[in-house]
Structure 1
Amino acid sequence: MWKIMWTERLLCIVVIAFIALTACTPREQKNEQDEMQAFEDFFAANGDSVSIAPRKVRTQTLQKMQEVRDSLVRYNYLAVASKTCLMSSDIDSARLLIQQVEDFTVRQPMSPQLADLRSECYNMKGNIYARTGHMDSAEVYFRKAYEQRMHGTKVEVLPDILMNLADATNRLGKLDVGAAWYRRALLLCDSLNIISAKKPPIYYGLAQIYVALRDFEQCDYYYNLAARSYESMLPFEKHFYLNNRGTSYYYRGDYATAIDYFKKVIDLVRDYPDMVFEQNLGWLNLGDCFLQINEADSAAKYINKCQPFFKETGITTALYYIDTQNIELALIRKDLSKAQRILTESVTPSDIDPDMVHIRNKYLQQYYEETENYRKAYFYLKENNRMDDSIRNERVEMRTADLALRYQQDSTVMAQKVFIQEKENEVLELRQIRIFWIALTSITLLIVVFIYMYNKKKRALLLAQNRRTVSTLRLENIRNRLSPHFIFNVLNQEMAERKMEEQQGLSSLVKLMRRNLELAEQLCVTLAEELDFVKTYIDLERRSLGETFHPLIEIGEEVYSDQVYIPSMLIQIPVENAVKHALRGKKGERDLWIIINRQANGICIRIRDNGGGYRLNSQNRGTGTGMKVIMQTIQILNMKNRETIDVSVHNVLLSNGEMGCEVTFLLPDKYDYKI
């Protein structure tokens, strides 16, 4: 291993020296386009092999570099060589080569081709920082790569850069921003007609967002979308999918399934010797899973396998994770002194993944519990609870959706700038569409005006019809009674011929008839006026019904009868029906209740008797004219009000076992009696 890596670095130094010697060679304008096209063809043929066989591609790339004379093309080859170094985990060589590319791009005048190269340079630097655990710097360079690529020609690689940017922001704990970058990458794939093979990495990247939010239903949804394309994935894409899906089961506590996925990672990389980083990452994750199921020996085996690699490469986040696992391993083995030593020597990087901090805090809580330092144990328990609340906070999820929608418009506009060139026929089509919409809007407006005028006229006709109906009801109500002038003349003659004590009943009758005439001309009266009329009627009927007739009027304390308005004859007609058709022919006690009380939003009026209940085929059944007048009046009034008067007529079983009939009116407050 050591010999191979030093050989590669020596080769990179030779390449850099060659570039320095030939940098000043004049370019031949004639060959520039041919050499760039040859590079494009080479990369199209070997792009996938960069991750599968990076050393082979590196050798071919360095050979091609010696054949070209154009500096821009040469440094494009060098960028590919740096990518192969990263794929084979030769971080130092990758860093050295990409620095040479960056120095070149700074010295050259800006052009679309140079923007592509500069974007590739920044993207590689971002990957180097991500591999070594410096996520703040990785995010900065991925953003620069995205901005430069917007000025270049190869916009089809934008989704890859956005995925890198999303991964970096996720590892920094900015889940909402990471989700926004993933969704922008998806939108780019759709709007730019980019092949669907780029979508699976976006899907399992989005799945990781929901793992962090602990929303495993959405997590599985996106992983299942990615799994459909598993067979067509590149090896490193398969690694990301298997590794991340195993991580999702780790956070669910399903360690057996997580171990299965991480073992699949090991099986995958076994066929690709250059995937050293991926292999060691799989061992690292397996170590943690075996710790969770208290298999200390298996955990120690995998930790010892991967620790030398991460120490050599200096990946701080992985070393932090290994220290965390060693703490737990010492706790399982009851070696508290070793745990204390690891805690003392361990250094926490400034940009560590929040999930790793969460795992470390859990182990620290366990350590301080076993050392009986419960104050610190409680501190780390609170820290983890705070992190859980922050990660799963609803505001994060809401902001994720908001940013996704906001970025959608930006990406659509960008896609149009890149791919859509308006032609004369498209302009003509737009004009035709505009004329169509203007015509459609005009027709719609005319239809709306016509419907409005029609409804207005219909309402006016209905109002006139209602007024005629009310007038008809009033006349019908009057016609159902004898001429008041005739009755008054007869009664006055009778009263003149009788003694003073005999005139009381006739006086009440005269009062009843006069009041009946007044009420027939009014649409609504106060509750007090209606009850006064009803009491007069009941007093007259009491003589014919005798001592077995027991009328009762109950008014609730919160009911102010002189301030409550009701339709005219609303109580009188049901009372008269009860007396005439139910109580008059009844044997035994004859009871009549008029109960008025306030409910939540209005007045409830109940008229109840014990006359045996309402029977459709009863001999005492009347013509129904009185109730018809009431019901039609209420129906007309209800058409003008949002809250309506409710009417119900039903039989009730009384407490003494008798059957009775009850008429109920529910009158809402602020009811309008104007027509």
Structure 2
Amino acid sequence: MISLVVFTALLAQTNDLETIRELINKHEFDSAKHLLNAAGNNSNSPELDYTFGMYFMKRNLPDSALFYGEKALEKTPSSDSSLVADIQNVLGGCYYQKADYSKSLESYLAAARFYEEENSDKLGIIYVNLGIILSALERFEESMEYQRKAFDYIPADDIQSIFFNLVNLSVNHRRMEQMDSSFIYLQRALQLSKDNEFKPGIIQAYASLANMHLRNQEYEQAIDMAESVLNDEESSDRAKAQAAYVIASAYNELEQPYKALAPAQESLRIVESLGMTGLIASLHELLYEIELKSKNYQAALDHYTIYHSIEDSINRSTNIKQLNELELQYETEKKDNQIQFLNQEKSLAELELKQRNFQLYGSIVLAIVLISFGLLYFRQRTLRSQLSIDQLNQKLLKSQLNPHFLFNALNAIQQQILVENDKTKAADYLARFSQMTRQILETNRLELVTLEEEIMLLENYVELQKLRSSNTITVTINVDDELEIDRIKIPPMLTQPLVENAFEHGLLPKKAEGNLIIKFNASEHQLIIQIMDDGDGINSQKKEGHTSVSKQVTMERLQLLEKQTGKKSSLNFSRNQQDLHTFTVVTLSIPLL
């Protein structure tokens, strides 16, 4: 049994921890930290770990908060449902801060189930949190349903929870393009904070209003409101980062890059210290635009390289995660079907044994029918799963191709800046490169684009490549008048690597004037694309032992396209003599889509 002295000590500690949690909820972090450190020297209880997790979560330090939250969950017996629910609530906030929205929703729902069973006074805050995470998942109607329910459970004196619920309703309406409703909820949140002298709410409301003015292109109002947040000593790092980003974006839109640079750099410094990957990418993109307008081309190139690396990493991780999940789902379904098939076979055997003398013929017929049905069902499920895997593989191949292509172009720009020191030419490079990369980013997540969009990309690309050559390269793009280029579909960036090979291994090494001809025709329900160049040609590539990554990826994409459409695709190389010129001819044939 627990002695009276130990029981009294535990009770005293519990009361101390409740006091610390009240301080944390009031954002009195220094006082809470002092008491937590004192308590940490005397105990290792799950209640204490939970309180540490809550402290770090409120301070926007999710990694530390997860460490203590998971420790608390391991130590807490499942019978203590109330503490388990409180810990899940904290874990939900940690996962939200790390942008792991699926895990966040799972934790919040686990907490909500207990609170609903007990009709807990914490239902209000858990509904607020569910509203936030569902909004992040773009499930806006469900989000607002929880937010409206939250008002029925939040105590009237819990100004902080009421404030956050109003702000989240504003965010939902903004993301649904209902700007008037969004502004009304934000103004209500600001007035509530002022009436109750809730300083963190006032700061966040001003930061959100500054962002709204920025979206409405009201740049002077956005700057004024954001500067009030940035200059307030009580503003959190997250609020300061948001405010500095608004100021930098506003000055950038006002074509004043010299005023935008410092706040953009300050915002980047803060978000890097907080580990906010998505905002880090956005800030490098903003700094790329600012440095480009300031004609600091090397700095612009550096920021763009980092921005693209982060975006590519995020897209690649997402695609790989989806592919792994799909393969796991496929294997699970495969095993389930095998088990189901074996169970059916067992049942048939038992039936055959019992009725051998009476229904032998009927049992055999029934077995054949059921086995055929099971095999057909299993085959259909396998084909559907394989098709989805092929589609994701297609996306992964595109994600491999884009960096290969983009970094080649970046290296060319760097050469102009560092080696040739031709700023005018470098500026032309960056302008064309910016326009082209926007086209790529817009189509990167699409399975198919129109032939017209593919041709526009090629036109930009060949102009960019021509700038690299000291000799005249004549480019001709012929499109059959019968082709409806605005309706015909093609996998994005399918032709670009073949044109790249024509430049890299044919025209650029030639050291003389060259010709590139690109033809688009249709024949027998096939789209025929020919890329012809009179450069050094196939023989020089073989002599160098060159193995083209672009060619390999293109062949793999064609194989996947065949699987998806059930129609043949082909890629052929040949040599052709025309008017005293010897051309290398690449012929690409794909189904008309």
TM-score, normalised relative to structure 2 = 0.49
Larger Rg: 1
Comparing both chains, which one has the higher relative contact order based on Cα–Cα distances under 8 Å and sequence gaps of 6 or more? 1
